[in-house]
């Protein structure tokens, strides 16, 4: 059984990446909140995929960095983990 040990520095870096990904997701969640009548009156429009995609890409990049660089997963392990989610 593989029992990789994560260094204290990698642990701190991993927590930082997770916090950053969480912040991006939280911001995106707020951006996707339903528009109020006041928002619409002021000219706000719902976000389109082009506006959402950069935030999603940023989250994906952060999580991939966490898995590969901090948790020291191999590319094959990371791809297998992702494939198991589909």
Model confidence over 32-73: pLDDT tens digits? 889 999 999 999 998 899 999 999 999 999 999 999 998 889
Residue 1 has pLDDT above 80, yes or no: no
- Token digits of residue 58: 């940023």
- Token digits of residue 59: 């989250």
Across all residues in the chain, what is the average pLDDT? 90
**Mean pLDDT for the stretch of residues 6-30:** 90
How wide is the angle at C-alpha 80 spanned by C-alphas 12 and 49, nearest 5°? 80
Residues 6+ apart with CB under 8 A from 49: none
What is the pLDDT at residue 23? 93
């Amino acid at each position: 059984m593989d029992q990789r040990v994560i260094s204290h520095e990698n642990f701190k870096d991993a927590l930082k990446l997770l916090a950053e990904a969480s912040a991006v997701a939280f911001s995106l969640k707020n951006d996707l909140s339903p528009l109020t009548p006041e928002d619409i009156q002021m000219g706000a429009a719902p976000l389109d995929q082009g506006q959402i995609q950069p935030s999603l890409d940023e989250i994906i990049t952060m999580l991939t960095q966490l898995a590969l660089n901090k948790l020291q997963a191999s590319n094959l392990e990371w791809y297998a983990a992702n494939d198991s989610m589909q």
